[in-house]
Amino acid sequence: MEPLSWTGAFAPLVPVLWTALAAVAILALLRWIAGFFLSEGDTQTQSDGTLAVTRGPLEMLDLATWWALLAALAVVAIFVAGGAALAEGAGILGAMSRRLLPVWIALASTFALSLTFKRRLGLYGKLFDSTIGMIGFALVMFWVFAAFMGAFGLIVTHDPLGQSGAMKNELPGMPYTRMLGEVAEGSYPYYLLGGDNLGRDVFSRMIAGSWVVVQIAPMATAFAFMVGITLGLPAAYKGGRLDELLSFLANLILAFPVILLFYLLVTPEIVETGIPAYMAAVMFLFPIAFIAILLNSRYRTRPALNTPLLIAVIGGLGWVYLSLISERFGPLDILPQALDLFDIPGGILVVFVSVVFVNSPTVFRIVRGLAFDIKTRDYVAAAQTRGEGSWYIMLWEILPNARGPLIVDFCLRVGYTTILLGTLGFFGLGLPPESPDWGSTINDGRKLLAIYPHPAIVPALSLLSLVLGLNLLADGLREESLRD
C-alpha cells in the first residue's frame, strides 16, 4: 500500500492556490502602503439628487484583494467537496475531508438555518451581517461539531490512546503498518497526519483533544460568569460595605499573576490537601443560587407556579451539584455510587475549578462596572417606582441591558481559557499525562520537533485556529452590539 500525498488527484490545483494566496498577501500589503499616500474615493451628488461614490485606487485594490481571496477560497472549497467525494483518491486532505463529512453537513445546516431566520434571532442573527463574525463562528463551530462527533467515534480513525510500535514518528499519509498480533479487521488503513513518538495517531488525538477543550473551556467560563454576575450585581446595586468587601476580595485574587495562581491550584501537593475539592463545593453553589434567584424574582408573585418550579429546579440542580463534587475515596465522598451521575476524573475537576476561580474576579469587576452605569437609567427608576424587588431589577432590568459586552467578553474568555488549558497541558499540570489535550500533545511532540515536526504542529495549529475563531467571533459580536 502506497503512502498518500497531500492532494492526490487535485495536485494541479496547488499552484493555483499558492498563486491566489500570494496575490492576497501582495495586494493587502500594497493596500496598506497606499493608504498612507492616497485617499478614499469621493462622494458626488448627481443631477437627480442621489449620491454616487467614485472608485479610486484604494477601492480598486480592495476589490482586487477580495477577488483573490475568493479565488483561494474556491480552491479550498474544491479540495473539501472533491475530497469528500474521492476520499483517499484526493490524498491526505481528501481523506480527512471524507472523515469530517458529518462536520461539514452540520456546519452547512447551521449556516443555512441561521441565514434563513437571522432576522428573528436577535444578536445571534445580526452576527451573520458581519464577515469577520461569520468566519469566527465557522471556526468555532467546526471544532465544536468535530469534538462532539469525535466523542461518539464518527470521525476518529484509531484509538487516540492506542500505540503501535511500527508507527512511531511515521510521516502523514503512511499506511497503517501492523505488527504481528495487532491486526484488526475494519481498522482505518492510514495514519492521516502521521504518528507521534509513541506510535499514536496524530489525527485522532487532534480530534480527541478538541473534546477536552469543549468540555472544560465553555462550561468553566459559564460557571465563572454565574459567580461573577451573582456577586457583581448586588455589589454595584447595593453599594456600601458589601461593595467594599467583595471588591477587596476580588482585588486580592487579581493581585496574583494568573499563570502562577493556576499553577499553584493544580500542583499535586495542593490537590492532595483537598483544597480544590472544597473550593468546588463552594463555587458550584453559585449556579444553583443564580438560577433559583432568577426564577424566584420572576415568578414570586405567582406562588402556585413559583413554589413547585423552585422545588424541581433546586432538587434537580442539587443532585447534579452533589454528583459534581462527590468523588469516590476523595475528601468529599458524599453520594452512593448508584446515585452519582458523573464520574469526572480528578485532574479535569481540578482544572475546571481553577478556571472558575481565576476568571470569577475579572467577571465580577466587569459586571460591577456595567451595573454601576446601567442602574442610573430611567427604566431602572421606573422599575423601582413600580415596587419591583432588588433582585428582579438586577436580573431582569440591568443584566439584559449588559448582555452585549458580557457576550463579547465570554467569547474572549473562552479563548483565554483554551490557551490556559494548553499551557497547563504543555507543562504537564492538571490533566492526566496520557490526555490527548492539545497542550500535552504539543509537549510530547516538541522533544523531536527538529526531526519530526508534525506531532507538535498539528495540535498547535488546532489551538491557534480555535482561539482565532473565538477572537473573530468576539469582534463580530462587538461590532453588531454597538449598532444596537
Same structural domain, 253 and 394: yes
pLDDT of res. 358: 86
How long, in residues, is the chain? 484
Q: Please say which residue of 76, 99, 122 terminates a domain.
A: 99
Same structural domain, 313 and 458: yes
pLDDT of res. 181: 43
In-domain check, residue 155: no
Same structural domain, 220 and 88: no
Same structural domain, 280 and 416: yes
Q: Please say which residue of 99, 126, 154 terminates a domain.
A: 99
Judge whether 484 and 404 are in contact, CB under 8 Å.
yes
Helices (H) and strands (E) in the chain, counts: 19, 4
- Would you state the torsion angle of the CA atoms of residues 182, 186, 190, 192, taken in this order, to the nearest 10 degrees? -120
Q: Facing residues of 43 across strands?
A: 53
- Would you state the torsion angle of the CA atoms of residues 455, 461, 467, 468, taken in this order, to the nearest 10 degrees? 180
Same structural domain, 342 and 466: yes
Q: What total number of domains does the chain contain?
A: 2
- Pick from 432, 430, 408, 438: which is nearest to 213 by CA? 438
Q: The domain containing residue 453 runs over which residues? A: 211-481
In-domain check, residue 216: yes
In-domain check, residue 300: yes
Judge whether 437 and 212 are in contact, CB under 8 Å.
yes
- Pick from 2, 56, 58, 3: which is nearest to 30 by CA? 58
Judge whether 10 and 77 are in contact, CB under 8 Å.
no
DSSP strand pairing (174-175 vs 190-191): antiparallel
In-domain check, residue 117: no
Q: Return d(Cα 334, Cα 32) in angstroms, integer.
A: 62
pLDDT of res. 180: 38
pLDDT of res. 122: 77
Q: Please say which residue of 67, 99, 131 terminates a domain.
A: 99
In-domain check, residue 108: no
Same structural domain, 92 and 216: no
The domain that contains 400 carries what CATH number? 1.10.3720
Residue 9 DSSP symbol: G
Q: Return d(Cα 150, Cα 78) in angstroms, integer.
A: 24
Same structural domain, 91 and 220: no
In-domain check, residue 395: yes
In-domain check, residue 281: yes
Mean pLDDT for back-to-back runs of 10 residues, the chain (484 residues) = 82 89 90 76 55 66 87 87 81 88 92 87 81 89 93 86 82 70 62 87 91 87 92 91 92 83 77 81 90 90 90 91 77 74 71 86 93 89 88 90 87 86 74 79 82 88 91 84 66
Same structural domain, 319 and 455: yes
Residue 3 DSSP symbol: P
In-domain check, residue 342: yes
Same structural domain, 245 and 374: yes
